[in-house]
A and B are shown apart, each in its own frame.
Chain A
């Protein structure tokens, strides 16, 4: 088996990993970086539980090879909160009751972040399109949709405050 050295910036921290050509980005995040917040639900990019941001885009980390992500900037669920407080998206998910079993939640929140980074005020159809790769079996998605809208309002307030 061949080993390669890759460099990833995960949650603003640059790290070096030794990986094989078979290791996925998810393997590196969970097993080598120890960030178990990102989940594996299917292993074949069908459920979205492993969604992370790679160079600011939402990807299914279970089907990206670690080598493909070399030099990439990665954001995982652990990178959202600051020491003082939760990220507005996390806060919105809690307030709306959008969290049930929670297994899809990290991926769902990362897809939400990717959407709101690009489209600060998404309409229902944009939300549905952005989250249609993330399966939730508990909530019926109603409260997730509400959480995304709530998060958009919160982020807007934050940006007003910072101005």
Chain B
């Protein structure tokens, strides 16, 4: 039974009509007077020294406007990551460089009058390099004789180490009846948001900098730019237009610093949009991972110890990596007395890695969940029961965690998955014959709601009109996931007004209040709680103002979402109250506001089951079904929650089957430079998806909600690998599976 009128109801996102008619304005759809087009000229080498730059020919091309050279940028290091200041964020990159450390490193920026002129000018730029030796794998970077890539941070290419421990793993392994251990590898992958990384920077007057960009973290980016350019934050305004996806890729600065300085130099606004090729290897990727996992378990199937050595390939710049390693250490969802996590940020000359949906969780969970299934089967236990037996419950703690789990509906998720699986098997059977063998795989997962470091913070302002309509002003950035609609639902629910009376203004550092940013699955929980508090402030202020109007001290806002004024025997809706307050004799303007700092990062949970088919003669695999059931507390907008599950499954399918930034040892560079050589799932590749949520309530969440976005993609790859392993009879420790099998589409 849904206790809410607007929350937990399926609502198409408020900007849907603009999106289906082509009216929604993305960054590339905007233009400014005198605007020109910019491009970054990037290093084609993984490690080199620029010896000469010659612009003579470029300057002769028609429409050429100007260039920004590496010696014209601040000679200081910065860290591009859109996370609040932290000692984990090391400064090691420059706006432009003469010493590129990866393919795609920024050498210079040029501008021309039209995109066509820009291409010609870019081709005419001549740069000479001395090519230097480069390392691309974690193993090579850790060799004793490997040259340090960031010598001012580390001499051995380990840029940071993270240890998380509890108990005594040595003792835990001694207490175990069996030890299971193995190595796992996951590849570097790219987000492939459909909208390329885009910005328009206007720094023409050299004093105020205006940026329109597809940013997940405008406030962090403003802070970093202010520090880099020695400006006041107030002189920088970042506006996020409608945004075509992010998935973590835009939780950082990309081309904005270079485009801003180029604009300042040529005194014209600059639009700079990455090509798809630049997106693939010169923006940001999910970290390649190498890990060793070791489990101790008793004959009864109780875990006694877990230990991991966890290596992430950061590329040459640390960006987020140490925080991603730290986040990975906080996702072990099983009850275990002895836990040791050793995580390493490793520098290489590969593509720079950063945030990507899952944030370290995707990588560690891949190996962990495959091992959990393997252990269960060796002990002749059901893989679901084995997991549930060891899973933390509400009130218990994850290993090495400070606070307890506040709500956990994992068992319900698992049981519902099993029901759906049974229905599918009853209908279709489970084939095992001469030609094919079908099998199910399973994985559990969890995530946080907001950064697991609990640094999530948000705020909201609510302007109440005289007719009771409200303008919700929030710093929270909707990057395509539907957070503006979800926050509007929360506001409408709390204030008892129709959703159509809520209008939202979001993510514009010039006019909206601070929000940590769209990362760590924060928007529902962190920004949502800020909206709840701002609504409470509106109610408080309206109550006070009504008390003045009616000279009455006992006015209350009831469960019926109405203001009760016993002295007058009156009962007013928010609309009626607003009208009364604004135009009454003791008139008042009502502006609610809030500041919310997260104290928790409650875990949402997911169970995923996959039915895979193995064709013996052709060594092919086909994915038939993916079931994913989640516990996200109250689903504020079930339509987007299910959409997040289905989209998360698709990204998990790509991760498991085909996606990997392939690297040529001979050429020393990434060869996955487009969407043919890097295959994301197409509609014809998709298995049937069964996405559901269970009923649960998170006591610290807004209207009982937890997060959903990142969670959904995490269990998919291990569940697929488990299913394929069962169907093919082969142990799998590595993705993408296209390295080992032919992948066939699921024809219907």
A-side residues, CB < 8 A to B, are 1, 20, 22-23, 27, 35-44, 46-47, 49, 76-78, 80-81, 86, 90, 93-95, 97, 99-106, 109, 124-125, 127-129, 131-145
A38 lies within 8 A of B680 (CB): no
Nearest-neighbor residue (CB-CB) of A128 within chain B: B684
Among A100, A102, A127, A140, find the residue whose CB has the most chain B CB atoms closer than 10 A: A140
A-B contact pairs, 23 of them (CB 8 A): A1-B62, A36-B28, A43-B276, A47-B675, A76-B22, A78-B23, A90-B17, A99-B12, A102-B24, A102-B242, A103-B193, A103-B245, A104-B244, A128-B683, A129-B684, A132-B683, A137-B651, A137-B680, A138-B245, A138-B643, A140-B643, A140-B645, A140-B648
Is B337 in the interface zone, CB < 8 Å from A? Answer: no
B19 lies within 8 A of A99 (CB): yes
A78 lies within 8 A of B21 (CB): yes
Nearest-neighbor residue (CB-CB) of B29 within chain A: A36
Nearest-neighbor residue (CB-CB) of B275 within chain A: A43
B-side residues, CB < 8 A to A, are 10, 12-13, 15-17, 19-26, 28-29, 62, 115-116, 191-196, 242-245, 247, 275-276, 479-482, 639-640, 642-643, 645-651, 674-676, 680-684, 686, 689, 691, 747-748
B686 lies within 8 A of A132 (CB): no
B116 lies within 8 A of A22 (CB): yes
Given A86-B21, A99-B20, A102-B15: A137 in contact with B192 (beta carbons within 8 A) = yes
Given A47-B194, A97-B642: A102 in contact with B683 (beta carbons within 8 A) = no
Given A42-B276, A100-B481: A140 in contact with B686 (beta carbons within 8 A) = yes
A104 lies within 8 A of B683 (CB): no
Which of A43, A47, A81, A99 lies in contact with B13, CB distance below 8 A? A99
B26 lies within 8 A of A39 (CB): yes
Inter-chain residue pair count (beta carbon < 8 A): 176
- Cα distance A137–B245 in the bound complex, in angstroms: 8
B194 lies within 8 A of A41 (CB): yes
Residues of A within 8 A of B682 (CB): 132-133, 135
A94 lies within 8 A of B21 (CB): no
Residues of A within 8 A of B21 (CB): 37, 77-78, 80-81, 86, 90
Nearest-neighbor residue (CB-CB) of B651 within chain A: A137
Given A138-B643, A139-B643: A105 in contact with B19 (beta carbons within 8 A) = yes
Residues of B within 8 A of A94 (CB): 12, 16-17, 20
**Smallest beta-carbon distance B283→chain A, Å:** 14
Nearest-neighbor residue (CB-CB) of A138 within chain B: B647
A101 lies within 8 A of B245 (CB): yes
Residues of A within 8 A of B195 (CB): 39, 41, 101, 103
- Cα distance A40–B275 in the bound complex, in angstroms: 10
Among B242, B651, B683, find the residue whose CB has the most chain A CB atoms closer than 10 A: B683
Which of A40, A42, A109, A141 lies in contact with B683, CB distance below 8 A? A141
Nearest-neighbor residue (CB-CB) of B20 within chain A: A90
Given A78-B21, A125-B747: A41 in contact with B646 (beta carbons within 8 A) = no
Residues of A within 8 A of B680 (CB): 135, 137
- Cα distance A133–B686 in the bound complex, in angstroms: 14
Residues of A within 8 A of B646 (CB): 139-143
B22 lies within 8 A of A38 (CB): yes
Residues of B within 8 A of A138 (CB): 194, 245, 480-481, 643, 647
B244 lies within 8 A of A102 (CB): yes
- Cα distance A100–B242 in the bound complex, in angstroms: 11
B650 lies within 8 A of A42 (CB): no
Nearest-neighbor residue (CB-CB) of A105 within chain B: B19
Residues of A within 8 A of B480 (CB): 100-103, 138
B194 lies within 8 A of A49 (CB): yes
Nearest-neighbor residue (CB-CB) of A38 within chain B: B22
Given A46-B675, A105-B19, A135-B680: A140 in contact with B649 (beta carbons within 8 A) = yes
**Smallest beta-carbon distance B673→chain A, Å:** 10
Residues of A within 8 A of B639 (CB): 97
- Cα distance A8–B648 in the bound complex, in angstroms: 41
